[in-house]
Amino acid sequence: MPELKEGCVKPARGPIVPAAESAVPAAGVTSSQEVRKMTARVGKEAIDFEANAFIAGVGFQPVKLSDYKGKWIVLCFYPGDFTFV
């Protein structure tokens, strides 16, 4: 895959909220209900996102979680590159 043209700043979409949930909340819907919908929980559907990524042998490329739908996925967060553990 050819490497995309690279700039210093490349916005990625971050969390992708389902259209129905990103609409202006209906009257009576509290903000805590909005937050609850957008929190990852076991047994519930994963929340999609898009992020810029570095992939060995490929280069820089945006990655969407839902690109991997249909496969088993392990998503690992860690505090930072060059940390000690």
Partner 1 sequence: MAAVAALYDEFKKLGVEVLAMSTDSRFVHKIWQEQELSKMVSGGVPFPMLSDAGGKIGAIYGVYDEEAGVDIRGRFIIDPDFVIRAMEVLTPEVGRNPEELLRQIKAFQHVRATGEVTPSGWQPGQVTLKPGPALAGRVWEVWKP
Chain positions contacting partner 1, by CB under 8 A? 11-12, 14-15, 38-47, 49, 51-56, 60-61, 63, 65-66, 68-83, 85
Q: Which residue has the tokens 């991997």?
A: 68
Nearer to partner 1, 7 or 28 (CB): 7
The CA-based dihedral angle spanning residues 50, 12, 63, 82, taken in that order and rounded to the nearest 10 degrees:
-110
Of residues 26 and 42, the one with the C-beta less far from partner 1: 42
Q: How far is the CB of 84 from partner 1 (least distance, A)?
A: 9
* Rg of the chain, C-alpha, whole Å: 17
Q: Which is nearer to partner 1, 32 or 82 (CB)?
A: 82
Task: Please check whether residue 40 is in contact with residue 46, taking contact to mean a CB–CB distance below 8 angstroms.
Answer: yes
